[in-house]
């Protein structure tokens, strides 16, 4: 059985950590092809 999530998520954090997540993926089974992240759009808001 494979459990997974498909959807749009917002990740926030340190730029280096976000780059690592984008290049390596998220989750425990990345070596099996899971955890893929696709960067769809970046929106910048004034804080």
Read off the pLDDT of residues 1-47 as tens digits, 9 standing for 90 and up.
777 778 888 888 999 998 888 888 888 887 787 888 888 776 666 55
35, 25 Cβ separation under 8 angstroms? yes
pTM of the model: 0.63
The predicted structure's pLDDT at residue 45: 66
Tokens of 41: 């759009």
């Amino acid at each position: 059985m494979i459990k997974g999530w498909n959807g749009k998520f917002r990740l926030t954090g340190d730029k280096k950590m976000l780059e690592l997540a984008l290049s390596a993926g998220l989750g425990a089974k990345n070596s099996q092809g899971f955890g893929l992240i696709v960067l769809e759009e970046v929106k910048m808001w004034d804080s």
